[in-house]
Structure 1
Amino acid sequence: MQNLTEFPLNATSHKRLSVIIKVCVVIPFFCVFLCFIVLMLHIFASHRQFLDTSRYILFAYMLVNDTLQLLSSVLLFLFVMGQVKFAIVYCVPLLFISTVTFQNTPLILATMSLERYVAIFYPLQCPATWRSDRIWIIILSLWLISCISPVIDHSIGKRYPAVDAFSTPVLCKPVVINLSPIQTLIKVAVSVLFFAVVAVIILFTYMRILLETRKMRQDRVSVSKAMHTVLLHGFQLLLCMLAYTLPITETLIVLHANWLPEDIAFFNYFCFILIPRFLSPLIYGFRDQSLRVYIGKTFLCCTNKVKPRVRGKPQDCFLN
């Protein structure tokens, strides 16, 4: 009888310890990501030359989009870990932002590849929409396209009959407003279509720029940089597509390891949602020479503030 009473206590303590470990892994990781994003956005806002270039505006937009995506997903993760329940009317905005920003990422990558294509092939006759003062039209269009599928999904979604959207507390999960298998199939099909179209666009722009590199005798350096940038967007797209390998990884983990369902879900979330979103802006930011210079200057300024002051003329940050 004593063993029967000790087993639930051990199971409960083990579950609590598992939740604490997961939270302690996700929160510092997200904080580091957020600090890096804030640093890069501060650099964009402090230097006018970045805001006058369409490529950097699109990159800043991607940073904001990834931040919203990770912020909403981390909040949902913490609510599920803490078993926090609230009404569906408060849950839907979080799920909506998470879905829209997730589908918006591949569209941004395709737009950034097309921007490189336009910059190479139409340097003197750039279309008005791709200029830095008109690029907001494209950004707004990306948001509208990304919102179409979630709006339809949340509008026709089936809910539990006994659940009141304004008063019944529930765990904030997509299954709460997405009970139909057909609805799930349509959602996956739309996402796969998004990624397929983006993959075709990136491949097209890469091949055209590659062929142009062989033809041009002058300015081969800028064309080569554009080619590598498009290739980087393809790598970023590959990182984003890792999220669609969740069913495969879950099957492999179940076959080769005796993991709990919540541990499998956390592993997939950390490896295929958090890490790709963190690596994507990190690689792009440090690859760009201009951004890398300003990032280095920012870190030097921060370290100089910590060190004791030395007599002499003070040095200002971002002199160049």
Structure 2
Amino acid sequence: MNSNNSVFGQTSAQLHSKFIIVQVLVVIFLCVNLLLIVTFFKNECFYTTARYILFAVTLLSDSFLFLVSDLLFIFTFFRVTMWVSLCSVICISVLLYLIVTPVTLTVMTLEHYVAICMPLRHAELCSTRSTVHVILIIHCLSSAPYAVIFIIFVASASLDFYYQYRICSVEIFTVYKWQDHVRSAVFQFYFLIMCLIIMLCYVKIMKVARTASGDDKISLSKGLRTVTLHAFQLLLCLIQFWYPLITSSLIYTNFTDFQHVRFFCYIMFNLAPRCLSPLIYGLRDEMFLHALKKCLSYGMCDRT
């Protein structure tokens, strides 16, 4: 009896520590993203540059994802139940913006490829008008896999199921085990396509960087490092597509191990990739860093 109580107390302490860690990280990331979003909207020069517009899309989608996924995490932690119909709408919106960032990062890599390998056509291909169209395409491509999942869920679940009270989770869409296989297949297809695009762009940029000289070589090497950081960030985001395979294989094993894996995946493949965006464009980009310092200095002056 005493040993069971000690194990339960240890598990409860671990859950509370994980809850506090997640809340601290989410608050920090939201504050940083909010500062960068304010910096973007206060400088009109960023409105006409494709890479900064796409950067703003990642910041907005990540901030929405942080906020809503953290609310779901809090509901799960405190065992708050809700209608399955309401949960399905919330989960679909979360899943949509879970994939918006990887797709946007892929498009940003393509923009770097056009800027380095096709500089004469960059202004034409990456205009503000075409960027807006690309953003619409990004959201259409991001919603396609979850439209398939939602249609399968609607066709499989009974009408009474939508009025049941459940703890809201993405796993609520899995009525039958074969749905996990369909979801995994769709995710792996996206994983393959985006990896191919990233590798091809990287190889092309490497070829151009080797033939460049002087100042061009310095700027190309900086662009190559940016693409490398994008590739690493995208790799972390794309690994999350393996998450259904991991959870489906562990869901019938020890509950404690399952919770540890879910917490590790959430930190490594949901939070960590999205904290790299401020590093890549907020700190490494000289133009945005100057605007950020200016925004901070104005804020300090207003307070005084």
Give your verdict on TM over 0.5.
yes
Query: How far, CA to CA, are the matches of 1:263 and 1:121 in structure 2?
Result: 44
Q: Which residue of 2 aligns with 1:55?
A: 51
Query: How far, CA to CA, are the matches of 2:30 and 2:151 in structure 1?
Result: 32
Unpaired segments ≥5 residues, structure 2 = none
Query: How far, CA to CA, are the matches of 1:235 and 1:175 in structure 2?
Result: 28
- Choose which of 273, 277, 284 in structure 2 pairs with 1:276: 273
Query: How far, CA to CA, are the matches of 2:96 and 2:195 in structure 1?
Result: 19
2:211 counterpart of 1:232? no
Corresponding letter in the other structure for 1:177: F
Query: How far, CA to CA, are the matches of 1:168 and 1:33 in structure 2?
Result: 34
- Choose which of 140, 161, 164 in structure 2 pairs with 1:164: 161
Query: How far, CA to CA, are the matches of 1:125 and 1:267 in structure 2?
Result: 43
2:299 counterpart of 1:291? no
Contact 1:103 1:194 in 2 (8 A): no
Of Structure 1 and Structure 2, the greater helix share is in 2
Query: How far, CA to CA, are the matches of 2:160 and 2:262 in structure 1?
Result: 25
Percent identity at matched positions? 28
2:85 counterpart of 1:89? yes
Q: Which residue of 2 aligns with 1:316?
A: none
**Alpha-carbon deviation of 1:13?**
5.7
Query: How far, CA to CA, are the matches of 1:249 and 1:85 in structure 2?
Result: 21
**Alpha-carbon deviation of 1:223?**
2.7
Cα distance change on mapping 1:7 and 1:236 into 2, 3 Å: closer
Contact 2:36 2:292 in 1 (8 A): yes
Highest CA radius of gyration, 1 or 2? 1
Unpaired segments ≥5 residues, structure 1 = 310-320
Q: Which residue of 1 aligns with 2:121?
A: 125
Q: Which residue of 1 aligns with 2:264?
A: 267
Counting only pairs closer than 5 Å after superposition, residues 28-67 of structure 1 correspond to structure 2 as: 28-67=24-63
More contact order relative to length (CA 8 Å, sep ≥ 6): 2
2:200 counterpart of 1:200? no
Q: Which residue of 2 aligns with 1:317?
A: none
- Aligned-residue CA RMSD (Å): 3.2
**Alpha-carbon deviation of 1:244?**
5.0
Contact 1:249 1:268 in 2 (8 A): no
**Secondary structure of 1:51's partner?**
helix
TM-score, normalization by structure 1: 0.81
